[in-house]
Amino acid sequence: MSKMVYLGSNLKMYKGVKDTVEFLTRLSDLTKDIDRSGLTLFIIPSYVTLESARKAVPNASILLGAQNMHWEEEGQFTGEISPRMLQEIGIDIIEIGHSERRHVMGENDFDENKKVLSALNHGFKALLCVGETLQQKELDLSDETLSTQLKIGLSGVDKKDIGRLWIAYEPVWAIGVNGIPASKEYADEKHAVIKDVLCGLFGSDADGIPVLYGGSVNPQNAEELAEMPNIDGLFIGRSAWDAEGFNKIIRATYPIFQKKP
């Protein structure tokens, strides 16, 4: 049986309730013929849309994620959202440590670790984002950076929970409007580094942890990225925010992913 393929998008702070519901409904409809036993399709919209989003599409069609989460269940944390609140809505995934959380909002690896542990303890899938900055890349510190982010971010994770752990490799210099997409060779090489670190942490059980690539994936480079041996899925921003466009990328890459050993 071929491996599960992971394709998803973080909507950042763009679509409101109406646009999110329209987008999800359309995406679910466009992709309804694709058997979900081989494809995990997921969307991570903004917090305020989550309840309507969950009602709009079943999780058998599209898994839904939150873009962030506080690690405590409740307390004096004004402006934060707790795991219990997200459980109540029926959210599947918690995205942790997106580069904007780290580099704009100032989160560090120890914060991400508390969120990873809390997400897993509350039964969510934890999607930990890692990636080096341009400066770290230029100083030849990419591998060390990835290793540090993973070793701290995943510290204390119990082996029994790694079936719900996903990693996204998102080099900071490749993300967003000013991003330069990583070459397929570079991305694959860093995915191999990540898989090595995961293997060091969890042994051969780490083989099941999907590592997704994100950073300026677009209709031109999606297929060549999908061909690479260490890339298990794509985590897409701008190019997936239109349901028709995302559907095209899904249909172009899914068979490529499926054919890989």
Residues carrying an active site annotation: 98, 170
- The one-character DSSP state at 174 is G
Cα separation, 247 vs 227, in Å, equals 18
Chain positions 40 to 99 lying near ligand PEP, rule: CB under 6 A, are 98
- Interface map 98-117 toward ligand PEP (x if CB under 6 A): x-------------------
On whether the CB atoms of residues 12 and 67 are closer than 8 A, the answer is yes
176 is a site residue for ligand PEP (CB under 6 A) = yes
Determine the Cα–Cα distance for residues 227 and 231; give it in Å rounded to an integer. Answer: 8
Residue closer to ligand PEP (CB basis): 8 or 82: 8
Q: Are 155 and 113 in contact (CB under 8 A)?
A: yes
* 17-30 vs 243-259: helix crossing angle, rounded to 10: 40
- Scanning 19-27, 58-66, 223-231, 232-240 for contacts with ligand PEP by CB under 6 A, the matching segment is 232-240
- Exposure string over 114-124, b if 16+ CB within 10 A, otherwise e: ebbbbbbebeb
Q: Which x/- pattern, by CB under 6 A, does the window 202-221 give for ligand PEP?
A: ------------xxxx----
How near is the Cβ of 240 to ligand PEP at its closest, in Å? 7
From 111, 142, 237, 250, residue interacting with ligand PEP (rule: CB under 6 A): 237
User: Given the rule CB under 6 A, which residues bind ligand PEP?
Assistant: 10, 98, 170, 175-176, 179, 214-217, 235-238
